[in-house]
Amino acid sequence: MIQPERFHRLRRVLARRQPDLTVVMERVNKEHNFSAILRNCDAVGVLEVHAVPPTHGIKVSDETSAGSGKWMQVHRHERATDVIRALQAEGHQVVAAHPDSRAVDFREVDFTRPTALLMGAELFGVSDDALALADVTAVIPMVGMVRSLNVSVAAALLLYEAQRQRTARGLYAGDPPRIPEPRFTELLFEWAYPRLAPRFRELDLPYPALGPDGEIVGDLSALAPDPSPRAIP
């Protein structure tokens, strides 16, 4: 069984997750950058991210991500244009990190709106097709000789500006959680019991209720032949 202190910490973190703030990584092809962006997302309370993997695929480095991949869903897509259109249909503004002629200072963007940050590949940036669909292009002002920042650093700056604006608006209060029920309860069980939750999904069973300190309420006999929570390593 989960320790009460850990359960309450998980609940506090989940309650402050931002279901309407996400990142779309288009062809980010360096493993350490991909993992670092996940770590940035976890740090500011992003719930889910979207990735259009490079042709050779991508892996998440546990060392760079600090295990943050366990705390959010990574949705993989074939084309950036498809996920952009889907997010816009859900009401998100898509903000592309790209220094074109229409780009605004990233601090001028209203990140309190449902927002998807679009980050491009390290060498080529955001693709023309994806850029054409973006609602806003944003730039990080630079006065030195280099023309761009590392993609994970750029993502961190934009995400923390989003956090700053959202904190001022009270969107990180956590009471009530911004994730609607019953999804919040489902995620809390999956976070608290990551090895037990897949068994329930495999058997197509609803998750059991949790008590105030994270204890499982109810009968686990449906998980036979090994129903005891103590048997879960």
Quickly state the pLDDT bin for 57 (edges 50, 70, 90). low
Q: Any bridge partners for residue 59, and if so which?
A: none
pLDDT greater than 60 at residue 81? yes
Phi-psi region at 201: left, alpha or beta (left = phi > 0; alpha = psi -120 to 50): alpha
Quickly state the pLDDT bin for 29 (edges 50, 70, 90). confident
State the pLDDT at residue 225: 60
State the pLDDT at residue 58: 61
State the pLDDT at residue 69: 67
pLDDT greater than 90 at residue 161? yes
Taking all residues of the chain, what is their mean pLDDT, rounded to a whole number?
Answer: 90
Going along the chain from its start, the domains and CATH numbers come out as: 17-168 (3.40.1280.10), 183-231 (no CATH)
State the pLDDT at residue 232: 45
153-162 average pLDDT score: 98
State the pLDDT at residue 61: 54
Quickly state the pLDDT bin for 55 (edges 50, 70, 90). low
62-72 average pLDDT score: 63
